[in-house]
Amino acid sequence: MPRSRSGRVRASGSRHRTQDTRPAINGLSARALSEITQLERTRNYLQPGDVGAALRLWKDYVHRPERELWRDYEGGYPYSDCCGDPLEARALLDTVTRAMSPRSARELRRTIDRSDVVWNRPAPPYGAG
């Protein structure tokens, strides 16, 4: 059987890499993303994709209606078994920012702060809305 041409092999897209493990976090530089990837590979409390997943979970959680957030506060987050606990995700993000270089941590904190602003906004007056 003749050998395949190298161009044909490259065009087929077959790679040994099974999945892309680079974090997809908007607003971060390549340096910060590289540092997150390195942390996810070297820290025993992280797996590839954990930081991006934690950021998405926290962002999705804080954008939920306030009545649901209050219910979660009263009785605990009901979906933590299947979807993860957003408060634990937020704590993980704090841990990761402390492990990063100051410059990259600042970039990640800026992204986290966008969701934190939503989380900490004051409630509208009773009867408004």
Tens place of pLDDT per residue across the chain (129 aa): 566 555 555 555 544 444 555 567 888 999 999 999 999 999 998 999 999 999 999 998 888 776 565 555 555 555 555 678 888 999 999 999 999 999 999 999 999 999 888 877 665 665 554
* Host domain of residue 66: 29-120
What is residue 113's predicted lDDT score, i.e. its pLDDT? Answer: 92
- 21 found inside a domain: no
Number of domains in the chain: 1
- Quickly tell me which residue has 């395949």 as its tokens: 4
- Quickly tell me which residue has 């003749």 as its tokens: 2
- 100 found inside a domain: yes
What is residue 5's predicted lDDT score, i.e. its pLDDT? Answer: 59
- 46 found inside a domain: yes
What is residue 17's predicted lDDT score, i.e. its pLDDT? Answer: 44
- 125 found inside a domain: no
